[in-house]
Amino acid sequence: MKWSNKFNYPKSSRSLEDGYRKYLLGDNKLPSVTTILSATKSEEEKAALANWKERVGHKEATRIKTEASTRGNNLHSYIENYLRGRINDSFFESNELYKNMAKEIIEKGINGKLEEIYGMEETLYYPEQYAGTADLIGVYQGNPVVIDFKQANKVKKSEYIQDYFLQLGAYTLAHDVVHGTKMKAGIILLCTKDILFQEFKIEGAELEMYQNLFLGRVKKFYELNNIS
């Protein structure tokens, strides 16, 4: 695979205001994609999360979330370092969980499929609406795509990861609007703690649907916060 400077991605910083994470791009402050999704969850989703916390206990819920977040950050960093050529093949000998999960994603989701990299951990934004950070933007099996790397405790079904698809809808739409592209797909490359690899792809009419659904969530977010 090769690296390309085809697009000029903006620099940004982040801040926490009124409980919301915002991206600072020049003089603009835009709510993050994850903030919008969290703030506009349905009552059913909120109840399901509350029930889970009650079932496992708040202390255990916090531990699980913290552990998953740390593992996810390590997995992302490892894949990025691998793609930037900062890690040699000896990493495959390591037995740390997040490295084994990264290896599975690299072997089954990246090698032989990812042809060109436009950027990693890049800020994407829709002017005056929202911003976020895409794990990877590039050419995958011949098509320009946005890719997110995910880790999970167990195998996922599509209906359980709708927020992941909405994130990809947000990122692909932002890229198209700002950079004049036509992203062909949004892809999730996921590995579980049991080292089971899953690939999810949204493309065509389905990708457009998630882009429009996310714009609906943006509208709801601004209405909830009385922002015109």
pLDDT in tens, 150-164: 999 999 999 999 999
Q: Does the pLDDT value for residue 209 go beyond 60?
A: yes
Query: Which residues, listed in sequence order, are joined to residue 24 by a DSSP beta bridge?
Result: 13, 29
How many whole angstroms separate alpha carbon 23 and alpha carbon 149?
21
The structure's pTM equals: 0.91
Reference 188, options 212, 157, 218, 223; nearest CA is 157
More confident residue, 46 or 23: 23
Residue 192 vs residues 99, 189, 198: alpha-carbon distances, Å = 12, 10, 8
Confidence of residue 93 (pLDDT cuts 50, 70, 90): low
**Rounded to an integer, what distance in angstroms lies between the CA atom of residue 204 and that of residue 216?**
19
Answer yes or no: is pLDDT of 171 > 90.
Answer: yes
Show the 3-state SS of the chain.
CEECCCCCCCCCEEEEECCEEEEEECCEEEEEHHHHHHHCCCHHHHHHHHHHHHHHCHHHHHHHHHHHHHHHHHHHHHHHHHHCCCCCHHHHHCCCHHHHHHHHHHHHHHCCCEEEEEEEEEEEEECCCEEEEEEEEEEECCEEEEEEEEEECCCCCHHHCHHHHHHHHHHHHHHHHHHCCCCCEEEEEEEECCCCEEEEEEEHHHHHHHHHHHHHHHHHHHHHCCCC
Q: What is the distance between the alpha carbons of residues 103 and 54, in angstroms, rounded to a whole number? A: 35
Q: What pLDDT does residue 228 have?
A: 59
pLDDT score recorded for residue 88: 64
Per-residue pLDDT, 90: 58
Work out the mean pLDDT of the chain and round it to a whole number: 91
* Mean pLDDT to the nearest integer, 28-32: 94
pLDDT band at 72 (very low <50, low <70, confident <90, very high): confident
Task: Give the chain's domains with CATH numbers.
Answer: 10-224 (3.90.320)
Q: Binning pLDDT at 50, 70 and 90, where does residue 101 land?
A: very high
How distant, in Å, are the alpha carbons of 40, 84, 89, 171 from that of 166? 12, 28, 35, 9
| The pLDDT of residue 48 is above 90 | no
Share of the chain above pLDDT 90, in %: 75
Pairing of the two strands 20-25 and 185-192: unpaired
pLDDT band at 205 (very low <50, low <70, confident <90, very high): very high
Dihedral angle over CA of 19, 171, 208, 8, nearest 10: 140
Cβ neighbour number for residue 188 with a 10 Å cutoff = 22
Name the pLDDT band for 172 (thresholds 50, 70, 90): very high
pLDDT at residue 158, as a whole number: 94
Residues in the chain: 228
pLDDT band for 92, please (50, 70, 90 cuts). Answer: low
* Per-residue pLDDT tens digits for 117-161: 999 999 999 999 999 999 999 999 999 999 999 999 999 999 999
pLDDT band at 17 (very low <50, low <70, confident <90, very high): confident
